[in-house]
Amino acid sequence: MFRPLACLLTVASLALASSGCSDASESQIMIVEPETGSPQSAAAANVASDDNLSPRVLRRFVALDAAPEAASSSIVDLGRKLYYDPRLSKSGEVSCNTCHPLDKYGTTADRVSTGVFGRKGARNAPSTYHASGHFAQMWDGRSPSVEAQATMPIENHEEMGLSPLEAVAAIDGIPGYRAEFAAAFADAVSPVTFERIGVALGAFERGLVTPARWDRYLRGDSNVLSAREKAGAKLFANLGCIVCHTGPYVGGSMFEHVGARVPWPASEDRGRKAVTGLSTDDMVFKVPSLRNVAKTAPYFHDGSAATLEEAIRMMARHQLGVELEQEEVRELEAWLGSLTGEIPAAYIAQPKLPSGA
């Protein structure tokens, strides 16, 4: 890599100064040199020794398990069917999978999605993979969980366009669904409710997990990444990217002001300010997960970056005030590719939907 270490540390300090991150004090140490005398797991010690990555950097990340503890299989199976069912839309043609196709890592190649009757959404649709692990849902964090979020597109005018009463009527009018809701929510007098539609969808989405080679690396397999991928991981840390993109999902754990160093080129969408009304939330958005990022273009809330290279350069420029050299971009691209996991084909297999109205 070309950038001198002193320059990288300066950039990291600038990023921390502008981030407002509550744990920035711990993040300031980003030199990729091994520490001495600090406790660490055997796996972390092995990776640090082989690749000269500091355990202090490694512990900013957490290896992802294959899937979290699942809800009852009847609820998950029900949620899978609802995810694929276009009858939860006004036109009868749009399902959750329309805008979040699971065989394409939960995203489309469109800047914004197309909902019922050709209506366009306002923001780029993020992936549903790993969303359940995020601290909040939506770009502006207005929903606390995937269960609460799952019903929002159903009643959104541009997306699926049904009122809660219409959605319940559509599902309750299908005998197969009535039976499945009764089995999944056995203690309920009236099993089919708008809230339980969200509960079932959320239960299914909690299984949308794609462990990657990066997780094997974090567990101690230092040979699973190429030399360029390892260089990209070191550069990612030294630039200060791990201030925001950290944890098991490499993001999804905080809000951040977009355009921290250089103003964001498009400012029509003011982000979280529309939710809270606070001036301090102007141009603040949820930091996205970087899991499967090489497969989920276009990028950002506005879909303004068509390629991963463009997204990397925009982040460096607008969040760090840095213009990256070509080799640095290639290294970062390579490491981000190690975050691509395998799509769980059996789990996401499209089910046979209940017949009926």
Q: Which residue has the higher pLDDT, 8 or 68?
A: 68
* Whether CATH 1.10.760.10 fits 73-209+344-348: yes
User: Is residue 114 scored above 70 in pLDDT?
Assistant: yes
pLDDT at 3: 56
Q: Tell me the catalytic residues.
A: 159
Asked if the model's pLDDT at residue 5 lies above 70, the reply is no
The rounded distance, in Å, linking the Cα atoms of 328 and 331 is 5
> Is pLDDT above 60 for 21?
no
More confident residue, 69 or 260: 260
pLDDT tens digits, one per residue of 140-193:
999 999 999 999 999 999 999 999 999 999 999 999 999 999 999 999 999 999
So what's the pLDDT on residue 19?
Answer: 40
How confident is residue 54, by pLDDT bands cut at 50, 70 and 90?
confident
Segments of the chain assigned to CATH 1.10.760.10: 5-60+213-337, 73-209+344-348
CB 160 within 8 A of CB 88: yes
Least confident of 15-29, 214-228, 340-354: 15-29
Evaluate whether 86 touches 350 at the Cβ level (below 8 Å).
no
What band does 70 get if pLDDT is binned at 50, 70 and 90? low
Task: Report pLDDT for 16.
Answer: 37
Looking at the structure, give the CATH architecture of the domain made up of residues 5-60+213-337.
Orthogonal Bundle (1.10)
**What is the model's pLDDT at position 66?**
77
Long-range CB pairs of 21-29 (<8 Å, 24+ gap) are 21/243, 21/244, 21/254, 21/256, 24/243, 27/60, 27/240, 27/242, 27/243, 29/54, 29/56
Instruction: Quote the CA–CA distance of 339 and 41 in Å, as a whole number.
Output: 22
DSSP structure string for 159-220: TT---HHHHHHHHHTSHHHHHHHHHHTTT-SS---HHHHHHHHHHHHTT----BHHHHHHTT
CA distance 266 to 86: 33
Q: Which structure tokens are listed for 157?
A: 């005018």
What is the band of 56 on the pLDDT scale with cuts at 50, 70, 90?
confident
What integer pLDDT is reported at residue 69 of this predicted model?
Answer: 60
pLDDT at 83 over 70: yes
In sign, the C-alpha dihedral spanning 218, 220, 224, 228 is: positive
pLDDT score at 267: 86
Report CA-CA distances (Å) from 263 to 251, 271, 298, 302, 336: 21, 14, 20, 14, 25
Mean residue pLDDT of the chain comes to 87
- pLDDT interval class at 55 (50, 70, 90): confident
In this prediction, residues 20-42 reach a mean pLDDT of 38
Separation of alpha carbons 343 and 330, rounded Å: 25
Confidence at residue 357, expressed as pLDDT on a 0 to 100 scale? 59
pLDDT tens sequence across 221-279 = 989 999 999 999 999 999 999 999 999 999 999 999 999 999 999 889 999 999 999 99
Q: Are 298 and 152 in contact (CB under 8 A)?
A: no
